[in-house]
Amino acid sequence: RTGGKGDEADGNAVKGATQARPQYRPFALVDEVSAASPADLDGLEVGDQIVHFGSITKDTFDGNLGTLARHASSNENSEIKVEVLRKGECVAVSLTPRAWEGPGLLGCHMRLI
């Protein structure tokens, strides 16, 4: 709708969109984060739903979690901007894949959702 009351409704829709952003569609779920790992130290949490992993989104994700591992590997020691849904809120996390005492460069496990 446009004009008068429609503008008001659009304003409310925009206000609501800042709280619960329906355009965000997660494609992976963090189901394990190792203590003292890069993922842990950088703020990733169990239960986080991955919406963006660098340039990867649900629309560009090929359905293979190995793609995320390869992206992390090709960005070793460089920051990756990650966006997650956490308890219904959108949260930005900056992950830096790096060597640590455990396996992999992040120290977390994800599964498809």
pLDDT tens across 88-113, in order? Answer: 999 999 999 999 999 999 999 999 99
Q: pLDDT value at position 22?
A: 53
How far apart are alpha carbons 87 and 47 in whole angstroms?
8
Q: Model confidence at 8, in pLDDT bands (50, 70, 90)?
A: very low
> Measured on CA atoms in the order 35, 39, 41, 47, is the torsion positive or negative?
negative
Q: What is the largest CA-CA distance in the chain?
A: 61
pLDDT digits (tens, 9 = 90+) for 30-78: 999 999 999 999 999 999 999 999 999 999 999 999 999 999 999 999 9
pTM of the model: 0.78
Reduced to 3 DSSP states, what percent helix, strand and coil does the chain have, rounded to the nearest 5? 25, 30, 45
Q: Model confidence at 12, in pLDDT bands (50, 70, 90)?
A: very low
By three-state DSSP, how is residue 107 classified? coil
Q: Model confidence at 23, in pLDDT bands (50, 70, 90)?
A: confident
Q: How far is CA 112 from CA 1, 22, 29, 61, in A?
A: 38, 19, 6, 11
